[in-house]
C-alpha cells in the first residue's frame, strides 16, 4: 500500500510540473509578444519622430542657405576652412591657405574659441575645428574648404594623437591653458575634440604614474602600442561615450553642423539628429546622408582628399583662384621671423652671455664715439657718455642655423659648451672672429619672442655677424652661406673640416636658411633666388620670386619636422615610465598588428563616414576633370622637401 501511495504521489508531481511548465511557457510567450509589440510601437514612434525632425531640419537648412547666397557684384566673400581633425588640416591651413591670404586679411585664431566678428570686412580667411553651424552665423555664404580622410586611418591617427598629447605631460596633472600668460599660444587640450579625448588618456597615464611612484606596481612592458597596461586600449577607446560623440562619424556630422561642438543656438536639436542619423538604414539616416551629399556638391567650394594631398593642394589652388605658381603672402607681418632678424641686426653688438641672449627689445642705440672720422654725427669728446642711434653705415649678416637633434638647450652648462663650439665652427667657415658672432634663440611661433633658452629648447637659432667692414665682405659671407648645404653634401674638405667637430658631436643634420643683411640701415632678406623686395617703409613684401607652391613645400617640411620633434619628446617621457616599449611607439609598421575584428568594428561604428568618404572621392575625381585646363596652366607643385615620413600626419 505504501509503495502504491508513493507511486501515485510521484505521478501527480510529474503531472503538476508538466502543467505548470506549460502554463509558464505560455505566459512567457505572451509576455514576449507584449514586449515586442511595445518595442515595435516605441520604435515606430521613434522612427516617425526622427523623420519629422530631420525633414524639419533640412527645410530650415535650405531656407538659411537661400538667405546666405551672395548676390553677384558684392565684395569678396570670406573663405572658411572647415578643419576636420586628423586630415592634414594643419598643413592645408598653415602652409597653403594662410600663404594665399595677405596677413591683414586673416581672421584671429579660432581653434579654441571664436575671437572674430564675422561681419568684420577685414576678416577674409577663417580656419577652425568648428562645424558647419558657424556658417549659420554668417550673413553671406562663404567659400568653404575642407578635407576628408579614409576612416580607418583617421580613427587610428586620432587615437595615436590622443595618446601622444597626453604623454607630453608625462603623467603629471595639467591645467587648462586658457589662462596661459602667452595669449598667442593655443593649447591642444582646449581644442575640440581633444579636450575630451586627450583628457581621457590623461587620466590613464596619471593613474599609472601615481601607482608607479607609490611602488604599488612594476614598470609595464609595452609589446602592443594599441593594448597595454599604461593607457586605454584601442578596442576600449572605440567604445567610450566621448568617442561616440567626438570621433565616430565626426566628418559627416561636422559637415552637417551637428557635432557636440555645434552652436546650439542655431542647432538646438543636434544631439537628437545625431541619434537619428546613427540608425543605419533608417529613413531619417538616409535623408540626412542625401542632404550631406547635396551640401558637398553645392556648398563646399573645395573638397579635398587626405590620401591625395598634393593633388588636393593643386586642385584647391585652381578652384579658389590662388594658383600655386602665383604670389605667396607668407612674408607679411611685423612680428614674423624677418622682423625679429631685422631687430637683432639693428641693435648694437653686445656680449653673448648664452643665458639671456635675445635682446631684440633693446633700443637700437650705441655709445657715441669721440669726434673725428669715426663719428658720423660729428660729436665732440665731451659727448662720450651720451647715446646715439647706431651708425648708419653698420653692416651685418644674419641667418637661421639648425641642428635637428639638439634637445638640451635648457641646461646652462651644456648650452654654454655647445654655443662656443658652434661659434668656432661658423667663424672658421666664414673667416670671421668668434667674438663677432651672436647666437640667439628662435621660437617657432611668429608672435612669440623667446626671452630665455628654456622657451626654445630646439637646435634652431639665429646667428648674426655684426662687425663687417664693407659691402664686399658681407657679399662674400652671403655667398658662402648660400653654398654651405651643397658643400657639406659634397664633403668639401674646407667646409667639412670647419663643421666636422660640431656635426660629429651634436648630430649629422645641419641646415642654414633665411639669410638677411643690414647695410646702411636698410634691411633685406637674401636667398638663392636673390634679394627679397621691401616696400617704402622697409617692410618685406611678397614677390613672385617665391611662389605659393614653393612656400607650401618649405612650410610642409617645417611642420613635418616640428611635429616629429613634438612626437619624439612625448614618447621620450613614455620611455621613462615603462620597462621596454620597443623604441618608437606608433609607426606604419605597428598598425599591421591591429586585429581584423578591430578594423571591422571601426567601419561599423563609422558607417556614415565610410559612405561620405566614398562620395568625396567621386567628387574629387570629377573636379580634377572639370578643372583640368586650370591645373595644366598652373603646373604641378614643386618636389617635396620631406626626407622622412612621420606618423599620423595632422
The pLDDT, as a whole number, for residue 346 is 73
Q: DSSP character for 154?
A: H
**Contact in structure between 79 and 93 (CB atoms under 8 Å):** no
Work out the angle between the directed axes of helices 412-430 and 471-489 (0-180°, nearest 10).
Answer: 110
The pLDDT, as a whole number, for residue 453 is 61
Of 82-96, 205-219, 354-368, 449-463, give the lowest mean pLDDT range. 354-368
If one counts every other C-beta atom within 10 angstroms of the C-beta of residue 594, the result is 18
Residue written as grid cell 646652462: 412
The pLDDT, as a whole number, for residue 138 is 92
Residue written as grid cell 652671455: 353
- The Cα 157–Cα 161 span in angstroms is 6
**Contact in structure between 246 and 196 (CB atoms under 8 Å):** yes
Q: Are strands 395-403 and 510-519 parallel, antiparallel or unpaired?
A: antiparallel
Confidence tier at 472 by pLDDT (50, 70, 90): confident
Stated as kind and residue range, the H or E segment containing 235 is helix 234-239
What mean pLDDT is predicted for residues 463-477? 85
Going from the C-alpha of 597 to that of each of 118, 229, 363, 604, 606, the distances in angstroms are: 46, 21, 65, 10, 14
Stated as kind and residue range, the H or E segment containing 365 is strand 365-367
The pLDDT, as a whole number, for residue 545 is 55
The pLDDT, as a whole number, for residue 527 is 59
Domain locations in the chain as residue ranges: 79-168+180-330+556-634, 337-541
What mean pLDDT is predicted for residues 20-47? 50
Dihedral through CA 244, CA 248, CA 254, CA 256, nearest 10? -90
586 Cβ contact list (under 8 Å, min separation 6): 160, 163, 164, 225, 647, 648
Three-state secondary structure call for residue 106: strand
- Report percent pLDDT > 70 for the chain: 72
Q: What is the pLDDT of residues 119-174, one digit of tens each?
A: 888 899 999 999 999 999 999 999 999 999 999 999 999 999 999 999 988 888 87
Residue written as grid cell 612674408: 331
Q: Are strands 143-148 and 302-305 parallel, antiparallel or unpaired?
A: parallel
Go through the chain and tell me how many residues it has: 650
Of 2-16, 291-305, 388-402, 577-591, give the lowest mean pLDDT range. 2-16
C-alpha grid cell, residue 383: 659727448
If one counts every other C-beta atom within 10 angstroms of the C-beta of residue 544, the result is 11
Residue-wise burial string across 326-340, b where 16 or more C-beta atoms lie within 10 A, e elsewhere? ebbbbbbbeebbbbb
Given a cut of 80, whether residue 205 has pLDDT beyond it is: yes
Beta bridge partners of 441: 461
Beta bridge partners of 396: 518
Three-state secondary structure call for residue 36: helix
What mean pLDDT is predicted for residues 363-383? 32
DSSP for 273-310? HHHHHHSTT-HHHHHHHHHHHHHHHHH-SEEEEGGGHH
The pLDDT, as a whole number, for residue 374 is 31
Stated as kind and residue range, the H or E segment containing 517 is strand 510-519
What mean pLDDT is predicted for residues 334-356? 60
- The Cα 540–Cα 333 span in angstroms is 8
Confidence tier at 269 by pLDDT (50, 70, 90): very high
**Contact in structure between 426 and 401 (CB atoms under 8 Å):** yes
If one counts every other C-beta atom within 10 angstroms of the C-beta of residue 520, the result is 10
Mean per-residue pLDDT over the chain, rounded: 79
Q: Whose CA is closest to 341, among 498, 532, 479, 484? A: 532
Q: Where are the alpha helices (DSSP H) in 69-178?
A: 89-90, 151-167
Three-state secondary structure call for residue 206: helix
The CATH architecture of the domain made up of 79-168+180-330+556-634 is 3-Layer(aba) Sandwich (3.40)
Q: DSSP character for 459?
A: S
Higher pLDDT, 443 or 365: 443
Phi, psi of 264 (to 5 degrees): -65, -25
Q: What is the pLDDT of residues 474-499, one digit of tens each?
A: 888 888 888 887 787 777 888 878 88
Q: What is the pLDDT of residues 42-69, one digit of tens each?
A: 455 678 899 999 999 999 999 999 999 8
Three-state secondary structure call for residue 311: helix
**Contact in structure between 161 and 144 (CB atoms under 8 Å):** no
Amino acid at each position: 500500500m505504501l509503495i502504491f501511495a508513493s507511486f501515485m504521489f510521484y505521478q501527480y508531481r510529474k503531472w503538476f510540473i508538466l502543467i505548470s511548465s506549460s502554463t509558464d511557457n505560455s505566459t512567457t510567450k505572451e509576455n514576449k509578444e507584449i514586449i515586442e509589440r511595445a518595442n515595435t510601437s516605441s520604435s515606430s514612434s521613434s522612427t516617425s519622430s526622427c523623420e519629422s525632425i530631420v525633414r524639419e531640419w533640412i527645410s530650415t537648412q535650405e531656407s538659411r542657405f537661400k538667405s546666405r547666397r551672395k548676390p553677384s557684384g558684392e565684395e569678396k566673400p570670406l573663405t572658411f576652412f572647415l578643419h576636420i581633425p586628423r586630415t592634414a588640416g594643419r598643413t592645408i591651413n598653415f602652409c597653403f591657405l594662410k600663404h594665399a591670404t595677405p596677413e591683414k586679411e586673416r581672421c584671429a585664431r579660432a581653434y579654441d574659441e571664436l575671437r572674430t566678428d564675422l561681419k568684420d570686412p577685414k576678416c577674409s580667411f577663417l580656419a577652425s575645428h568648428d562645424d558647419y553651424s558657424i556658417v549659420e552665423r554668417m550673413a553671406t555664404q562663404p567659400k568653404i574648404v575642407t578635407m576628408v580622410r579614409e576612416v580607418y586611418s583617421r580613427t587610428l591617427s586620432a587615437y595615436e594623437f590622443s595618446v601622444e598629447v597626453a604623454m607630453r605631460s608625462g603623467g603629471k596633472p595639467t591645467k587648462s591653458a586658457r589662462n596661459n600668460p602667452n595669449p598667442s599660444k593655443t593649447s591642444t587640450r582646449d581644442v575640440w575634440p581633444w579636450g575630451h579625448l586627450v583628457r581621457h588618456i590623461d587620466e590613464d597615464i596619471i593613474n599609472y604614474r601615481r601607482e608607479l611612484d607609490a611602488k604599488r606596481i612594476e614598470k609595464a612592458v609595452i609589446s602592443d602600442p594599441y593594448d597595454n597596461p599604461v593607457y586605454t586600449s584601442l578596442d576600449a577607446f572605440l567604445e567610450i561615450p566621448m568617442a561616440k560623440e567626438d570621433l565616430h562619424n565626426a566628418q559627416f556630422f561636422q559637415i552637417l553642423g551637428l557635432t557636440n561642438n555645434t552652436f546650439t543656438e542655431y542647432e538646438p536639436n543636434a544631439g537628437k539628429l545625431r541619434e537619428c542619423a546613427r540608425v543605419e538604414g533608417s529613413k531619417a539616416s538616409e535623408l540626412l546622408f542625401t542632404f550631406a551629399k547635396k551640401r558637398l556638391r553645392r556648398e563646399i567650394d573645395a573638397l579635398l582628399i587626405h590620401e591625395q594631398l598634393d593633388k588636393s593642394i593643386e586642385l584647391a589652388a585652381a578652384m579658389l583662384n590662388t594658383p600655386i605658381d602665383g604670389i605667396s603672402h607668407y612674408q607679411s607681418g611685423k612680428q614674423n621671423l624677418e622682423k625679429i632678424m631685422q631687430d637683432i641686426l639693428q641693435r648694437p653688438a653686445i656680449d653673448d652671455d648664452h643665458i639671456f641672449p635675445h635682446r631684440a627689445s633693446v633700443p637700437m642705440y650705441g655709445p657715441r664715439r669721440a669726434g673725428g672720422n669715426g663719428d658720423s654725427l660729428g660729436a665732440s669728446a665731451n659727448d662720450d657718455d651720451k647715446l646715439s642711434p647706431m651708425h648708419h653705415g653698420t653692416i651685418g649678416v644674419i641667418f637661421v642655423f639648425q641642428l635637428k637633434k639638439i634637445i638640451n638647450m635648457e641646461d646652462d652648462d651644456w648650452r654654454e659648451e655647445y654655443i662656443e663650439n658652434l661659434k668656432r665652427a661658423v667663424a672658421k667657415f666664414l673667416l670671421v672672429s668668434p667674438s663677432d658672432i651672436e647666437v640667439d634663440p628662435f621660437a617657432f611661433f611668429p608672435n612669440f619672442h623667446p626671452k630665455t633658452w628654456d622657451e626654445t629648447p630646439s637646435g634652431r637659432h639665429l646667428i648674426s655677424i655684426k662687425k663687417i667692414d664693407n659691402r664686399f665682405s658681407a657679399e662674400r659671407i652671403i655667398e658662402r652661406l648660400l653654398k654651405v648645404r651643397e658643400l657639406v653634401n659634397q664633403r668639401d674638405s674646407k667646409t667639412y673640416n670647419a663643421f666636422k667637430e660640431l656635426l660629429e658631436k651634436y648630430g649629422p643634420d645641419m641646415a642654414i636658411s633665411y639669410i638677411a643683411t643690414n647695410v646702411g640701415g636698410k634691411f633685406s632678406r637674401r636667398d638663392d633666388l636673390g634679394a627679397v623686395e621691401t616696400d617704402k617703409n622697409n617692410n618685406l613684401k611678397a614677390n613672385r620670386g617665391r611662389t605659393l607652391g614653393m612656400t607650401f613645400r618649405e612650410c610642409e617640411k617645417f611642420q613635418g619636422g616640428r611635429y616629429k620633434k613634438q612626437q619624439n619628446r612625448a614618447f621620450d617621457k613614455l620611455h621613462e615610465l615603462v620597462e621596454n616599449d620597443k623604441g618608437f611607439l606608433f609607426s606604419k609598421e605597428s598598425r599591421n598588428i591591429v586585429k581584423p575584428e578591430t578594423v571591422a568594428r571601426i567601419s561599423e561604428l563609422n558607417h556614415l563616414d565610410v559612405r561620405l568618404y566614398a562620395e568625396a572621392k567621386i567628387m574629387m575625381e570629377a573636379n580634377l576633370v572639370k578643372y583640368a585646363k586650370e591645373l595644366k596652366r598652373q603646373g604641378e607643385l614643386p618636389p617635396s622637401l620631406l626626407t622622412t615620413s612621420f606618423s599620423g600626419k595632422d
